Amino acid sequence: MVLQDVLRSFLVILSGLWVVSPVFGEKPSVAKPAKPPVVPTSVAVFGLGGAVSEGPGGGDLSSLLSGTAPESLRSLVSRMDRAGRDKQVAAVALLYNGPVVGSAQLEELVSAVDRLRETGKPVYLLAESMGTGGYVLASHCSHLSVVPGGELALVGLATESPYIRGLLDWLGVEPDFLTCGDFKSAGEMYMREGPSRNAAAMGDRLLDSQYRTYVDLIASGRNVDRKQVRHWIDQGPYTASRARAAGLIDAVEHRREFYDRMRRAHGQASRLLTRYGLPPRQQVDLSSPLGLIQFYSKLLQGPGRVVNRGDTIAMVYLEGTIVGGSMPISPTGGAAASSETLRKTLAVVERDKAIKAVVLRIDSPGGSALASEVILDAVRKVQANKPVIVSMGNVAASGGYYVASYADEILAQPTTITGSIGVVGGKFATTGLWDKLGIKWASRSRGANATLNGTAAVFTDDQRDRVQEQMDEIYGTFKRHVVDGRGKKLKKPIEQIAGGRVYTGRQALELGLVDRMGGQVDAIAAAAKRAGIRKYTIREYPESRGLFDSLMGTRQPDRPGPLVGRRRSRREGVRLLDRVVPLLGTLEPQRAEAIRRIVGHLERLQHERVFLLAPEIRIDDGR
């Protein structure tokens, strides 16, 4: 009887298990143990030093030999943003060593630091020395250290513009330039020995705006009022210990102590990732035949092609002086934005159905009026089917603004230099230079204005009238583009905005020349929103070229013509820069570079008479 009771109880229990089992014959489910939370164990370290490029660069000889190359701004910012999302990263360390960046690029880095801190991750910065620009970035970090014996040169801002009329007179070169716009001062660099009254007043307004932006950024970064920041600046420069006592920095320590501080805060086992987000270095060994083969392979090959079928945003870079034809970017010289290269690039972007929107990144003082019109036309063709967002870099002025005028949205940084809606035209008369060399030219001509483009003499009165008439027409077209492109966004009549006036991004926003403040990240987000896409990849144009292509790239051929009476080509003519460069050897590098740029503008454009070019304004923030 007892055995039957036991059997009956067993059957009841078995039937109960049968009922609660979710699937016939399935074992009861067992809860899986929860995954342990990810514990951040790494510190992402970023070295901020050397050049930071605007766009993607192809390989050059030094980078192939050393395994290094300047990093692009977008790459650097993307790595910093990635560290903010990375659950393995507990903190970020910045090793500041005077990066070569412009003021707008500096603001992009400030925004990247702010985004990192918004994730709750501390950002540490160590510097040996820094100036005002460097401190703008450093002030937004969680903890700021300077090495013993270092200096904080927080002394404010200064601007300067070169005027080379005295040099031209000494060389025997006579400049002859005309302008459209009372504030169009680009020609003054060649015609005068100092600024006109209008140019000086405009320079003061620019400096006031830049200074205000820097003060605001430091005040927000260190959480103090503007009055305190101005007091700090007026009391500078500072030794490291004096800066610590004034509350400008948080610690005076060497790198070893700096790293120890982070390990104490985030665990002694914390890993310092000094190449966070970067690919492994690939050194080239030239001591072996195999190494030589690898070297020549890298020399000849371009970057790998990325095949992407998903939604894409194209990042198109317009960098450097705007020139006609298909002049490539020289591996040893300054950047040039060629109209033919950009026209073809934008045509590819227009046809690619995977590309849903375009960000046009402009860092250019302008250049050729004709080339600017060609590029604008290509931009508008893309815009007929896809949104185009303009992201302004350090400078997007004159021709740089011309090509941006119809964009769906224009973003700039507060310190971006833009505007300069005006025209300058002219030429150099070089007879005096040839006389100094003991060379005489015997010339003959047919036609009343056959010598208009010649360099033997300045314009005649009649020629000057004709050039001015041409410039007035181009100026009218420029203003019409701005009015049609910006429409009711303009806050003042175009005549009160144009005239060659140069603005900071902050001033341009007040006038309606730009839509809002922001950098590349903001422009990409705006492009995605207008295109209605949430997941996308970014592809950069023009695509990077290999070193071989850069060295062997075709340059625009000289205009064809009969041998007899043919105008001297650029290759045959005496390059003005060749005369100037030897004189720059003993000057400061930054000033020397400014002279190279303004002479280089005219070298690149000497086959044209009319330019949309902004004046050279060098801002010294002691970075």
Q: pLDDT value at position 249? A: 98
pLDDT of the residue at 219: 98
Predicted pLDDT of residue 65: 53
pLDDT in tens, 585-603: 555 777 777 777 777 766 6
- Residues 65-78, mean pLDDT to the nearest whole number: 80
542-572: burial string, b at 16+ Cβ within 10 Å, e else: bebbbbbbbeeeeeeeeeeeeeeeeeeeeee
Return the pLDDT at 510: 98
Rounded to an integer, the average pLDDT of 399-419 is 98
pLDDT (0 to 100) of residue 596:
75
For residue 467, give the nearest of 499, 424, 509, 437 by alpha carbon: 424
Looking at the chain, the whole-number percentage of residues with pLDDT higher than 90 is 66
User: How far is the C-alpha of 420 from the C-alpha of 609, rounded, in Å?
Assistant: 18
Quick check: 346 pLDDT over 50? yes
Measured CA to CA, the distance from residue 402 to residue 389 in angstroms comes to 14
Question: What pLDDT, in 10s, does the model give residues 207-249?
Answer: 999 999 999 999 999 999 999 999 999 999 999 999 999 999 9
Question: Is the C-alpha dihedral spanning 368, 369, 373, 374 positive or negative?
Answer: negative
- The CA-atom distances, in angstroms, between 173 and each of 191, 278, 559 are 11, 50, 25
Is the pLDDT higher at 291 or at 182? 182
Q: Which 8-state DSSP code applies to residue 143?
A: E
pLDDT at position 601 is 67
- Tokens for 17, please give them: 């298990």
Please report, rounded to a whole number, the percentage of residues in the chain having pLDDT higher than 70.
77
Digit-coded pLDDT (tens) for 143-195: 999 999 999 999 999 999 999 999 899 999 999 999 999 999 999 999 999 99
Distance CA 298, CA 288 (A): 15
Residue 336 has a pLDDT of: 85
Q: What domains sit in the chain, N to C, each tagged with a CATH number?
A: 42-155+236-273 (3.90.226.10), 308-440+453-550+575-613 (3.90.226.10)
Nearest C-alpha neighbor of 524 from the set 346, 385, 389, 324: 389
**In this model, does residue 556 exceed pLDDT 80?**
no
* Nearest C-alpha neighbor of 136 from the set 163, 159, 118, 109: 109
Average pLDDT of the chain is 84
pLDDT at 351 (0 to 100): 97
**What is the rounded average pLDDT of the residues 548-577?**
42
Give the CA count within 13 Å in the CB-facing half-sphere of 108: 29
Has residue 343 got a pLDDT over 90? yes
Cis peptide before 237 (omega within 30 of 0): yes
Give yes or no for residue 573 having a pLDDT over 60: no
Residue 129 has pLDDT above 80, yes or no: yes
pLDDT at res. 598:
75
Query: Residues 302-338: pLDDT tens digits?
Result: 555 555 669 999 999 999 999 998 765 443 346 789 9
Between 116 and 607, name the one with better pLDDT: 116
pLDDT at position 587: 57
Average pLDDT in the 580-588 region?
A: 57
Q: Answer whether residue 73 shows pLDDT above 70.
A: yes
Instruction: Over range 531-559, report the average pLDDT.
Output: 68
Q: Residue 549: its pLDDT value, please?
A: 52
For 460-473, the pLDDT digits (tens) are 999 999 999 999 99
Q: List, in sequence order, every residue forming a beta bridge with 613; answer none if it has no partner.
A: 366
Helix (H, G, I), strand (E, B) or coil at 457: coil
Cα gap 412→8, rounded to integer Å: 83
| pLDDT on residue 312 | 97
**Cα 549 off chain centre by:** 23
Name the pTM for this structure: 0.85
Burial code (b: 16+ CB inside 10 Å, e: under 16) for 434-461 equals beeeeeeeeeeeeeeeeebebbeebbee
